[in-house]
């Protein structure tokens, strides 16, 4: 389906008077719900001079294009569940605060998005990579990131996201604690979603994650006790528990270092 003038009017919840010309009405639309319309191409949106939120998810779009005219006013864009594999074409949307995409291979073309707060690039299925310039562009604004169902993503570039607080890592195939512990020790994550990862089955899971994290307040993970797929347990992490486990880890590390010293160095 093509985006037509009639479709734009029908996809807005704003009311058009009978006497109002269609172009004039389209110019004042602020929210468009173009989701699940069978749309194959992004077009005709240059008429929407005041558009702030655009829902284009659940369509058949393959390329991000013709959005540059929305750059000064569009703040939320939902493009998930299309046939898009590249993020190129987003570069001029400098006012975006929310961006939802899925099945892209690389996080890119975000270098000028200095207002982006929430990014969802879940459901890739293979390893997601991150363009350094894009990480630099959003490092001082992004607070929520969802990269769920991406295969063992490299978290190293993400330590530069200085304001990141909420992280979704559901079903990312993490089999060991090391990459998670390294990442958490260098960030200020307060809410972490690790559902459906193999590390959740380890009896030491909660202890190790809480010990590594500096600011974690809530963990979401698949219940180890119930062993039910998809059973979600949102567990609060009280500050006294975190402090206790971190002090315990320091004492253990100190004892280990002493035990490794030559005997003469202990006197």
Tokens in use for 157? 């570039």
Q: Give pLDDT, residue 226.
A: 42
Which ranges in the chain belong to alpha helices (H)? Answer: 5-10, 22-27, 132-138, 178-185, 205-212, 239-260
Average of per-residue pLDDT across 1-8: 96
Least Cα distance to 121 among 142, 141, 92, 94 occurs for 142
| Tens-digit pLDDT profile for residues 46-78 | 999 999 999 999 999 999 999 999 999 999 999
Mean pLDDT of the chain: 87
- Model confidence at 260, pLDDT cuts 50, 70, 90, reads low
Tell whether the model's pLDDT for residue 224 goes beyond 70: no
Q: Rounded CA gap, 218 and 79, in Å?
A: 29
What average pLDDT does the segment 190-199 reach? 91
pLDDT of residue 202: 87
pLDDT at 126: 77
pLDDT given for residue 241 in this prediction: 64
Under the banding of pLDDT at 50, 70 and 90, the label for residue 267 is very low
Segment 129-151 mean pLDDT: 96
In degrees, to the nearest 5, what angle opens at C-alpha 137 toward C-alphas 133 and 142?
Answer: 130
First to last CA, the chain: 82
Query: Residue ranges per domain, the chain?
Result: 1-84
* pLDDT category of residue 175 using cuts at 50, 70 and 90: confident
């Amino acid at each position: 389906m093509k985006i037509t003038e009639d479709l734009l009017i029908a996809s807005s919840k704003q009311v058009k008077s009978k006497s109002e010309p269609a172009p004039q009405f389209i110019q004042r639309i602020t929210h468009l719900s173009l989701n699940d319309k069978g749309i194959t191409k992004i077009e005709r949106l240059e008429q929407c001079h005041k558009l702030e939120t655009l829902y284009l998810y659940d369509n058949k779009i393959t390329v991000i294009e013709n959005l540059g005219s929305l750059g000064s006013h569009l703040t939320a864009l939902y493009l998930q569940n299309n046939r898009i594999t590249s993020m190129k074409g987003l570069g001029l949307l400098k006012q975006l605060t929310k961006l939802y995409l899925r099945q892209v291979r690389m996080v890119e073309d975000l270098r000028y998005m200095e207002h982006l707060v929430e990014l969802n690039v879940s459901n890739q299925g293979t390893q997601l990579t991150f363009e350094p310039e894009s990480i630099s562009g959003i490092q001082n604004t992004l607070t929520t990131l969802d990269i769920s169902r991406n295969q063992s993503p490299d978290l190293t570039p993400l330590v530069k996201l200085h304001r990141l607080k909420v992280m979704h890592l559901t079903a990312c195939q993490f089999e060991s604690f090391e990459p998670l512990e390294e990442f958490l020790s260098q960030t200020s994550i307060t809410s972490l979603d690790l559902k459906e990862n193999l590390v959740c089955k380890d009896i030491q899971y909660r202890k190790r994650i809480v010990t590594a994290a500096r600011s974690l307040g809530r963990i979401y993970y698949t219940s180890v006790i119930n062993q039910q797929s998809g059973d979600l347990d949102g567990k609060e992490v009280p500050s006294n528990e975190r402090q206790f486990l971190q002090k315990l880890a320091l004492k253990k590390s100190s004892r280990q270092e002493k035990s490794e010293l030559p005997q003469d160095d202990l006197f």
